[in-house]
Amino acid sequence: MPILEHLWIIIALPLAGAALNGLLGKNWSKALVNSVGIGSVSLAFLSVLEAIREFSLLPAGQLSFFKNYFNWMAAGSFKVDFALQMDHLTIVMLLVVTFVSLLVHIYSTGYMAHEEGYYRFFAYLNLFVFFMLTLVLAANIVLMFVGWEGVGLCSYLLIGFWFLKQSAISAGKKAFITTRIGDFGFTVGILLLFWTFGSVDFGTVFMKAANMPAESATQAGVLTWICLLLFAGAIGKSAQLPLYVWLPDAMEGPTPVSALIHAATMVTAGVYMVARMHALFSRAPIAMFVVAAVGAITAFYAATIGLVQTDIKKVLAYSTVSQLGYMFLGCGVGAYAAGIFHLMTHAFFKGLLFLAAGSVIHAMGGEQDMRNMGGLRKQIPVTFWTMFIATLAIAGIPGFAGFFSKDEILDAAGSGADAHITLWLLGLAGAGLTSFYMFRLIFLTFFGKPRFDEHKVHVHESPRSMTVPLMVLALLSIVGGWFAAPHLIGKTDYFEAFLHPVFAAYGVPAGIEQGASLAGAAGEAGGISPSPAMELLHALTGPPVVLAIIGLLVAWWFYIRRPDAPKKLAASVHGLYKLLLDKYYVDEIYAAAIIRPFLWISTNVLWHAVDERVIDGTVNGVASVAREVGGQARELQSGNARSYATWVVIGALGFSVLMLGVWMVR
Amino acid sequence: MNVVPVAYYLVLSAVLFGLGVVAFVFKRNIITILLAIELMLNAVNLAFVAFARAWGQTDGLVFVFFVIVVAAAESAVGLAIVIRIYQNRQTLNIERVNLLKF
């Protein structure tokens, strides 16, 4: 079993690509940079496929493949190995990461064709893939943390890719620092985890956790604290309230980066982490509720901001924040498989939305404001149709990928074992808003009359290298959810069944039932079993679908039927409109409450007082004492031989007196 | 046979040494200063010889040979320097030779 035994090959390939392009690529031709960049990722993708084939040949009882390559560090009882593992959850993530990365790499050859630092871009992208795969394959939480921080680094590098642009630099720093706040919690969580279990290996920790009883829902125990601290890292990385502020700004980076890192893969690392740690989370009801609540509130909150944004990428950014909220809602109510399912479909349709938005921006010659677009449908048909499919998918229109995954999450939140009616309502409202703002985006961009000067802007469809990835992703945005389709008529949800071994491995205490809908599907056979047609009808007319269609219609009415209506409405509820347009003033509040006091303390206390007075004062004081003493002492060096002689005599006399004294004391 | 006590030699040695020191410090002529150094060296030699005689050992005598050799070398080098100084600066006043400072 060559690849499965050598899982490290999967992560080594993109690293090699990054090293080659980054160190040598400067003077290479674009074709060579392309072949190294794309080649390494496609080889990684093929290795993943081969590894999955080999994994499927394992004996049936074996749930995961684990391989320890070497001991990374050991200090007393603290031991970290460079160990990788593969199970069904990893397989899903590996496929999503390598495949979407591959498409984004191909797309970038077109999108970035005229950019300075072409080789640098591909080196960073490859490096990102390397770290993301490390994060996914890691068999212990410390190695996972390496990947976790590494993708943060690549995110920073790529947001600030245009490093001559002040706003891009600031956005990069903002992303890095904001996620760092969450990562502080993550680090403390790792320490607490080790302190509690005496190990950082997932296998050992989960085995020990499986023997622990579930904690009560009213009192926080150690598991709850571990989970909450780890979740703090997820809040930062996956841009949830209150640390989501970096993600909209991250749109300063090139659009392929937004698609790959800030929509499809990196930001979902938090969701993956929560799902990976399900053995702990499932035993910590308070932490579970926090996860679900943060997810649901973020899903709704970010959707409201998305309603009024005018920058096409900003709308998508808030939409990403909102969709990540759904994934956490799913995990928080125990439907981990649904959360991961949404992660996967979201990677397809949101990656597609960003890439298509990039294609629109490309066609418009850099314009990002939707108010200056309109009527592009005929001119860039491929972009339009693919983006339209992605919009149908994200809005949750039946038949498209997003419908299945979002429906499962809302189903679990509304009627699962761990349902919270308030969170369900928030999620539903968010679904309606999602549908509205996404169709608003489509209508503003592609329909109506052009609102730009058609003589100045030469609208043109993007090259093949960009449209082909769009079409592939569009296909996946349609079929990507069909694994779950049989569930609609009461049969097995194949996606959930695929992940079931992972989430059922560590005996879950009663009261928190995982894979609620799977269990439901099985359980209904014994009880009252509605006919498949009734089930289908029920699913297709459920509240999420109704709300999605209402959102569509409202958007249509506002932006196609009565194009002057939005302005009137905005004027009539001006206060609310302004609040949403200015994103609830969260950035301003953070600036006033945290950043400015911090800056003041740093400037006046740490810099002017501590650094300048205390530290510099000490150092300069020592130096000036030395200089003073030296200045005095050098006067002795008069150049006058007689004075030297005098000093010699004085010295000799002094020494003699000393000896005499010593002799007399004796 | 009366032996002159060692203290006498030492007093004489100390007086000679003291004279040498005073001349070394207060004289300005470089040649005089060299002579003062010779005086001090020989005062020490006297003390060495006196002690060697008093204790009946040869160590002090060996030291004296060394001192004489070093003194000869020092005189040779010192007088050579004196000649060069005079050629360059037309003076033997040590207070005028003070450029090497700070």
A401-415 and A336-363 helices, crossing angle to 10°:
140
Name the pLDDT band for A98 (thresholds 50, 70, 90).
very high
Question: Which of the four pLDDT bands, split at 50, 70 and 90, describes residue A529?
Answer: low
pLDDT at position A1 is 52
Confidence of residue B2 (pLDDT cuts 50, 70, 90): low
With an 8 Å Cβ cutoff, are B98 and A637 in contact? no
Mean local confidence (pLDDT), A161-187: 92
- Mean pLDDT for the stretch of residues A244-255: 91
Give the per-residue pLDDT at A483: 85
Separation between Cα atoms, residue A660 and residue A579, nearest integer Å:
93
Those residues with Cβ within 8 angstroms of residue A31's Cβ, 6 or more apart along the chain or in another chain: none
Cα B35 from chain centre = 7
List domains and CATH numbers for chain B.
28-90 (1.10.287.3510)
For residue B21, the chain A residues in CB contact (below 8 A) are 649
pLDDT at A518 over 50: no
Q: Residue A485 has what pLDDT? A: 81
The tally of CA atoms less than 13 A away on the side-chain side of residue A361 is 21
What does the alpha-carbon distance between residue A372 and residue A245 come to, in Å, rounded to a whole number?
26
Q: What ranges in A112-253 are assigned the alpha helix state H?
A: 118-137, 141-159, 166-197, 202-210, 222-237, 246-249
Give the mean pLDDT of chain A: 88
Q: How far apart are CA A611 and CA A589, in angstroms?
A: 29
In this structure, are residues A80 and A232 in contact, taking their beta carbons and an 8 Å threshold? no
- A-chain residues near B101 (CB < 8 A): 637-640
Q: How far apart are CA A492 and CA A494, in angstroms?
A: 6
Contacts of B94 in chain A (CB under 8 A): 640-642
DSSP state of A561: I
Q: What is the pLDDT of residues A263-288, one digit of tens each?
A: 889 999 999 999 999 999 988 889 99
Measured in angstroms, the CA of A174 and the nearest CA of chain B are apart by: 56
Helix (H) or strand (E) holding A368: none
Residue A466 has pLDDT above 70, yes or no: yes
Contact A128, A260 (CB under 8 A): yes
Looking at the DSSP bridge assignments, the partners of residue B13 are none
> In chain B, which residues touch A (CB < 8 A)?
21, 24-25, 28, 33, 94-95, 97-102
Closest residue in A to B26 (Cα–Cα): A642
With an 8 Å Cβ cutoff, are A641 and B101 in contact? Answer: no
The percent of residues in chain A predicted with pLDDT above 90, rounded, is 55
CB contact under 8 A, B97 and A641: yes
Q: What is the 3-state secondary structure of A565-618?
A: HHHHHHHHCHHHHHHHHCHHHHHHHHHHHHHHHHHHHHHHHHHHHHHHHHHHHH
Q: What is the DSSP letter of A527?
A: S
Chain B contact set for A637 (CB, 8 A)? 101-102
Chain position carrying tokens 């968010």: A430
Q: Does A114 touch chain B (CB under 8 A)?
A: no
Lowest mean pLDDT among A293-302, A370-379, A420-429: A370-379
Higher local confidence (pLDDT), A577 or B46: B46
**Interchain pair A642, B94: CB under 8 A:** yes
Structure tokens at A446: 């592609």
Q: Give the model's pLDDT for residue A508.
A: 58
Q: Give the number of other Cβ atoms within 10 Å of residue B66's Cβ.
A: 10
How confident is the model at residue A512, as a pLDDT? 42
pLDDT at A657 over 50: yes
Cβ density class A557-588: b for 16+ within 10 Å, e for less: ebbeeeeeebeeeeeeeeeebeebeebeeeee
Q: What is the pLDDT of residue A517?
A: 42
Kindly indicate the confidence band of residue B3, based on its pLDDT and cuts at 50, 70 and 90.
Answer: confident
* Residue A594 sits at the chain B interface (C-beta within 8 Å): no
List of chain B residues whose C-beta atoms are within 8 Å of the C-beta of residue A640: 94-95, 98, 101
Using CB atoms, which residue from A634, A637, A646 is nearest to B25? A646
CA–CA min distance B21, chain A (Å):
8
Q: What is the DSSP string of A81-98?
A: EEEEEE-HHHHHHHHHHH
A613 burial (CB, 10 Å; 0-12 / 13-18 / 19+) is exposed
Query: What pLDDT, on a 0 to 100 scale, did the predictor assign at position A221?
Result: 85
Distance (Å) from the C-alpha of residue B1 to the closest C-alpha of chain A? 34
Is residue A516 scored above 50 in pLDDT? no
A647, closest residue in chain B (CA to CA) = B25
- Do A640 and B102 lie within an 8 Å CB cutoff? no
Q: Residue A424: phi, psi to the nearest 5?
A: -60, -45
**Is A355 a residue whose pLDDT tops 90?**
yes
Q: Which residues of chain B have a CB within 8 Å of the CB of A639?
A: 98-102
Q: Which of A108-117, A132-141, A452-461, A522-531 has the lowest mean pLDDT?
A: A522-531
Per-residue 3-state assignment (H helix, E strand, C coil) for A372-412: HCCCCCCCCHHHHHHHHHHHHHHHCCCCCHHHHHHHHHHHH
CB A51 within 8 A of CB A86: yes
Mutate to test the interface with B, among A632, A642, A643 (most CBs of B within 10 A): A642
> Which of A634, A638, A642 lies nearest to residue B25, judging by beta carbons?
A642
Which of B21, B94, B102 lies closest to A641 in CB terms? B94
- Section B47-56 average pLDDT: 91
> Scanning every residue of chain B, which has its alpha carbon at the shortest distance from the alpha carbon of A645?
B25
| Contacts (Cβ under 8 Å, ≥6 apart) of A20 | A36, A40
CA distance A594 to A181: 12
Question: Is A641 in contact with B99 (Cβ distance < 8 A)?
Answer: no
A415-424, A435-444, A527-536, A620-629, range with the lowest pLDDT: A527-536
Span A522-542, mean pLDDT?
Answer: 62
Residue with tokens 């640390």: A243
Among A245-249, A490-494, A645-649, B11-15, where is mean pLDDT lowest? Answer: A490-494
Structure tokens at A189: 């969580």
Q: Are A639 and B28 a contacting pair at CB < 8 A? A: no
From chain A, the residues in CB contact with B97 under 8 A are 641
Which of the two residues, A72 and A509, has the higher pLDDT score? Answer: A72
Supply the pLDDT for residue B52: 92
In chain A, whose CA is at the least distance from the CA of B94? A641
What distance in Å separates the CA atoms of residue B83 and residue B92, rounded to the nearest whole number?
9
pLDDT score at A515: 42
Question: Residue A78 in 3-state DSSP?
Answer: strand
From the list A212, A241, A481, A450, the residue with the least C-alpha distance to A343 is A481
User: How far apart are the CA of A620 and the nearest CA of chain B, in angstroms?
Assistant: 24
pLDDT of residue A196: 92
- A649–B21: do the CB atoms touch at under 8 Å? yes
Of B72 and A518, more confident: B72
Q: Do A383 and A363 meet the contact criterion of CB atoms below 8 Å apart?
A: yes
pLDDT at A527 over 50: no
First-to-last C-alpha distance (Å) of chain A: 88
Q: Which residues of A84-119 are buried (b: 16+ CB within 10 A; e: fewer)?
A: bbbbbbbbbbbbbbbbbbbbbbbbbbbbbeeeeebb
- Token pair of A113, please? 């064709």
CB contact under 8 A, A642 and B100: no
Nearest to A474 by CA among A363, A375, A391: A391
What's the 3-state SS for A294-348?
HHHHHHHHHHHHHCCCCEHHHHHHHHHHHHHHHHHHHHHCCCHHHHHHHHHHHHH
d(Cα A255, Cα A469) in Å, to the nearest integer?
14
